[in-house]
């Protein structure tokens, strides 16, 4: 059966159409600049890509366009073939710890968390509403970035702030990238044939987070109340001393929002290197001897190594370390920098196995105390599989 996996942003809508249970990617594409001048979409089918520039004033029109193309291009012969639509939803607060079937009531409850993720949740829900209109009667399922982390215990999700901040205002660690961490955990557990594994999953892409998982339960994760926390990222600072905010606001005469924006958009690789947020540009500059690019790489690998060491301790010794997402899957150099920094844990990289991109592979030596695997992530597939599972249950 065919299931659509959707990731709607404020001005974009990304889709992948899967044939399940075969896990075959039938088609995928992206609608961009929705509601802006110059909107267009691209669709990939059988290795070919088409691009069309059309006026797309809102998400409803984007979804109408998508459905028309699916029919016109012969990707589906009738709309009845699409048996479910899974949506990435960023924030489900403490209420949603699992994927959920979406209806008007659930949408209202999800919107309660909009203020926790103002850039993402309202946009995600625009996608949901557009599909409900376009494909009435088809099941819509919401899969939350935060859900997997709801298995964390209080001693790990609470900040040592006044308890009232948590009780009255919901200040706690929620964690993100949960769908990716859950997917790669599932893949490695399946591969090793064990369901009681202690795993440290490192999702290191443009955004990044590290998670400690014991037998499918999250023990701790590096992102926090928002995706700004944890390791250094492409443009995000990760953890810093919170007092810096007031100090820099006073010094620069800027507001908290402006300073927070700098931490989100002008920090990380970009902030340190002054070159780019993209790890490939940093690698090129570092290869040419750029000191700040080298500094950025060293800081980045340091933060990740330190989280791995901390989580190894929390787990009482990890069974496996998994690297995934843009850098984890593709950057041999960053994999080496990170693994060299956790040599004290007995981790040993096998350099002869490290020169590759985007494959499932073990990259540690036989002597390595903790084996290290690269496991390509697939959040779209996870969302489609969750949608199928809920469809079959109901």
Active site residue 145: yes
Q: How far apart are CA 392 and CA 373, in angstroms?
A: 32
Scan for tokens 């997917």, then name that residue.
183
- Site stretch for ligand ADP (CB under 6 A), options 51-59, 243-251, 285-293, 320-328: 320-328
Report, in Å, the least distance between residue 336 CB and ligand ADP: 12
Q: How far apart are CA 41 and CA 31, in angstroms?
A: 4
* Residue among 23, 194, 252, 280 that touches ligand ADP (CB under 6 A): 280
Provide Rg for the chain, Cα atoms.
Answer: 21
- Site stretch for ligand ADP (CB under 6 A), options 5-13, 100-108, 301-309, 319-327: 319-327
Residue nearest to ligand ADP (CB): 326
- Site stretch for ligand ADP (CB under 6 A), options 12-20, 77-85, 97-105, 325-333: 325-333
| 178 binding ligand ADP? (CB under 6 A) | no
| 201 binding ligand ADP? (CB under 6 A) | no
* Residue among 126, 325, 349, 384 that touches ligand ADP (CB under 6 A): 325
For residue 119, which of 238, 10, 31, 6 has the smallest C-alpha distance? 10
- DSSP, collapsed to helix, strand or coil, labels residue 297 as helix
| 234 binding ligand ADP? (CB under 6 A) | yes
| 327 binding ligand ADP? (CB under 6 A) | yes
* Residue among 84, 178, 205, 376 that touches ligand ADP (CB under 6 A): 205
The nearer residue to ligand ADP, 124 or 330, going by C-beta atoms, is 330
Q: Where are the beta strands (DSSP E) in the chain?
A: 2-8, 13-19, 24-32, 40-45, 48-53, 82-89, 100-101, 139-144, 198-204, 208-214, 217-221, 320-324, 361-362, 372-374
CB 338 within 8 A of CB 304: yes
Quickly count: other Cβ atoms within 10 Å of residue 383's Cβ.
Answer: 28
- DSSP, collapsed to helix, strand or coil, labels residue 341 as coil
| 331 binding ligand ADP? (CB under 6 A) | yes
The nearer residue to ligand ADP, 82 or 322, going by C-beta atoms, is 322
Residue of 72, 145, 281, 284 with catalytic role: 145
The nearer residue to ligand ADP, 142 or 208, going by C-beta atoms, is 208
Q: Which of residues 52-91 bind ligand ADP (CB under 6 A)?
A: none
Strands 139-144 and 2-8: unpaired
Q: How many degrees, rounded to 5, is the angle at CA 198 between CA 197 and CA 199?
A: 105
| 224 binding ligand ADP? (CB under 6 A) | no
Q: Which helix (H) or strand (E) holds 244?
A: helix 243-252
Q: Which of residues 346-365 bind ligand ADP (CB under 6 A)?
A: 357
| 16 binding ligand ADP? (CB under 6 A) | no
- Interface ranges with ligand ADP (CB under 6 A): 205-207, 234, 278-280, 283, 325-327, 330-331, 357
Catalytic residue ranges:
145
């Amino acid at each position: 059966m065919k299931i659509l996996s959707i990731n709607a942003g404020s001005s974009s809508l990304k889709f992948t159409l899967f044939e399940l249970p075969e896990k075959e990617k039938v088609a995928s594409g992206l609608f961009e600049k929705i509601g802006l001048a110059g909107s267009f979409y691209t669709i990939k089918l059988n290795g070919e890509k088409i691009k069309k520039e059309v006026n797309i004033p809102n998400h409803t029109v984007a979804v109408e366009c998508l459905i028309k193309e699916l029919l016109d291009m012969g990707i589906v012969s009738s709309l009845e073939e699409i048996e479910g639509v899974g949506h990435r939803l960023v924030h489900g607060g403490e209420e949603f710890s699992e994927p959920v079937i979406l209806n008007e009531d659930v949408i209202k409850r999800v919107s309660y968390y909009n203020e926790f993720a103002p850039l993402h949740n309202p946009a995600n829900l625009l996608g949901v509403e557009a599909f409900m209109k376009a494909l009435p009667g088809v099941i819509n399922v919401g899969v939350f970035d935060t859900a997997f982390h709801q298995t964390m215990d209080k001693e790990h999700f609470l900040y040592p702030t006044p308890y009232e901040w948590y009780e009255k205002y919901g200040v706690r660690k929620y964690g993100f990238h949960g769908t990716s961490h859950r997917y790669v955990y599932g893949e490695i557990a399946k591969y090793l044939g064990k369901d009681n594994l202690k795993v440290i999953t490192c999702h290191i892409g443009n955004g990044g987070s590290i998670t400690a998982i014991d037998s499918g339960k999250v023990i701790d994760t590096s992102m926090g109340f928002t995706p700004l926390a944890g390791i250094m990222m492409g443009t995000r600072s990760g953890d810093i001393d919170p007092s810096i905010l007031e100090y820099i606001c006073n010094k620069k005469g800027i507001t908290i929002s402006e300073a927070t924006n700098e931490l989100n958009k002008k920090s990380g690789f970009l902030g340190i290197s002054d070159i780019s947020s993209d790890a490939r540009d940093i690698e090129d500059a570092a290869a040419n001897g750029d000191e700040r690019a080298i500094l950025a790489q060293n800081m980045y690998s340091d933060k990740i190594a330190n989280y791995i060491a901390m989580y190894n301790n929390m787990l009482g010794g990890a069974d496996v370390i998994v690297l995934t997402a843009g850098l984890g899957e593709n950057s041999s150099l960053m994999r080496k920098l990170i693994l060299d920094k956790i040599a004290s844990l007995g981790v040993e990289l096998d350099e002869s196995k490290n020169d590759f991109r985007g494959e499932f592979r073990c990259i540690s030596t036989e002597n390595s105390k903790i084996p290290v695997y690269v496991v390509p992530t697939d959040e779209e597939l996870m969302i489609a599989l969750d949608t199928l599972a809920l469809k079959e249950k109901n």
